[in-house]
Structure 1
Amino acid sequence: MIIDVLTLFPDMFAGVFNQSILKKAQEKDAVSINVINFRDYSTDKHQSVDDYPYGGGAGMVLKPEPIFHSVEAVKEKRNAQHSKVILVCPQGERFTQKKAEQLAQADHLIFICGHYEGYDERIRFLATDEISIGDFVLTGGELAAMVIIDCVVRLLPGVLGNEESHQNDSFSTGLLEHPHYTRPAEFRGMKVPDVLLSGHHEKIAEWREKESLRRTWERRPDLLDGYSLTEKQKKWLEEIKKAK
């Protein structure tokens, strides 16, 4: 996968893209991440990228020319036929694990990170996707782009040491992930559940599935509204509710 990030603040990405899983993913050639200052594509001698909004109002609005020129230049350089152009925007669709899985199937992603008051509306015509990471407003799209990229890259083949690492993540199955434990078996009076020490893989798998259901019902019951429960899970859920 190739990821191009268009931003006015490329230095913001250095720490994130050169650490941990994102760094390892690039070293494994699973992904190539490039950060581009779209100010370089402005059309006047002052390299201006924003202007006052027509009709008045507070703040400055990003002009269309630098964004259009930078997206077109990146597409031409990559010779990509099916690039996903992602406009990071609080008005976009809510980002989910399912969306991350969809984006992980693409060969080329272009992120447009806005700043200031907003985008000239014509910039939206470039986007194949408009994505928001939540119902709040950030200073710019850079942090949101980092979140999305981190979520997508870890899903690429070969990035994680164990391909099963992300398959049971919270939201990947439709439920929240089950609890995890490691050594020591007892810490300050808190013990690891006996079933996890039993070595009985079938019982461990069943415990994890039930605890995943319990955690979802306790913390995010809304996720169960669109989830198709098996007969076994329905029985467990009744037990969980009665136990409360």
Structure 2
Amino acid sequence: MTIDKSQIRNAATVIVLRDRHSDPHILMGQRGAKAVFMPNKFVFPGGAIDVGDAAVPLATPLPQTCADRLAEDADPALAHAIAVGAIRELWEETGLILGQPGQWDTPPPADWETFAATGHLPHAAPLQFVFRALTPPGRPRRFDARFFLVDADDIATDLDNFDAACDELSHLQWVPLAKARSFDMPFITEVVLAEVEARARDTNPPASVPFFKNNDEESLFLRLRGHRMAD
């Protein structure tokens, strides 16, 4: 049996790491009790990629190493939209801007109007692709999620001001990395957390990226090294 890709949405998640060399903290929030996907769980900001993300301009592109890893076992054209979606989700769910000052040449899509109004263009260069996970079969929703690590120093706005955030995540807070496991979080978030702990003081994109690939036949734990799959 093959995966019905029409039922799997591409998604992006952002792990913002603060004070990584002294007292590392990560930004997390709690999903609502009535959420269809992972209710009540503490998670990193993120969500599904929108169709319009592919057409949004970037002030800076992803690091080439990360773009190469994203292209493995995937359509290479997705890399741009996934990076854009990661920045959009971070803005929508936390009110934090990963951007550089700049004006849009064309009117932004509706989901980007408030971001553009701040006078910024999305800035993808600080994103480090560190993990990929495919939701197992049988869940109410399935995502092919890419996780990005970003240093809080690259955020353009006040790290403690979440006033512009939507209400999708509550209890937004900077969690000490050493204490994050005490929160009620999904299994995959715990797995990604281990990767973040291992990379907390490494500012270079990883040479290979873990891929937790759950298909209908088996669960595989692979490493993405930037080699595109043969057609």
Q: What's the TM-score bracket when you normalise by the shorter of the two chains?
A: under 0.3
Q: Which has the higher helix share?
A: 1
Relative contact order (alpha carbons < 8 A, sep ≥ 6): 1 or 2 greater? 2
Give the alignment's TM-score, normalised by structure 2: 0.26
Structure showing greater radius of gyration is: 1
Give the alignment's TM-score, normalised by structure 1: 0.25
Q: Which has the higher strand share?
A: 2
